[in-house]
Amino acid sequence: MPPFVLDTLFEQWEKSVGHPARVYDTVERLTSRPARTFALWATDHAADFS
């Protein structure tokens, strides 16, 4: 990866520290159901990984 790409990436990460991530409603709009948390998904699918 060119150094300027990494510099840009690190600058963006630095600017995001201390700011909450944006939350989008894309899943709900596409599926007509509320999105599930990763924790709920992981709990529901734990057997798939054992």
Q: What is the pLDDT of residues 10-38, one digit of tens each?
A: 999 998 888 888 889 999 999 999 999 99
The structure tokens listed for 36 are 């599930």
Which amino acid does the sequence have at 47? A
In angstroms, rounded to a whole number, what is the distance separating the alpha carbons of residues 3 and 7? 6
pTM of the model: 0.45
Please determine, for residue 47, whether its predicted confidence score (pLDDT) is greater than 90. yes
In angstroms, rounded to a whole number, what is the distance separating the alpha carbons of residues 49 and 47? 5
Give one word for 18, left, alpha or beta, with left for phi > 0 and alpha for psi -120 to 50.
left
Largest Cα–Cα distance of the chain, in whole Å?
A: 43
In angstroms, rounded to a whole number, what is the distance separating the alpha carbons of residues 32 and 34? 7
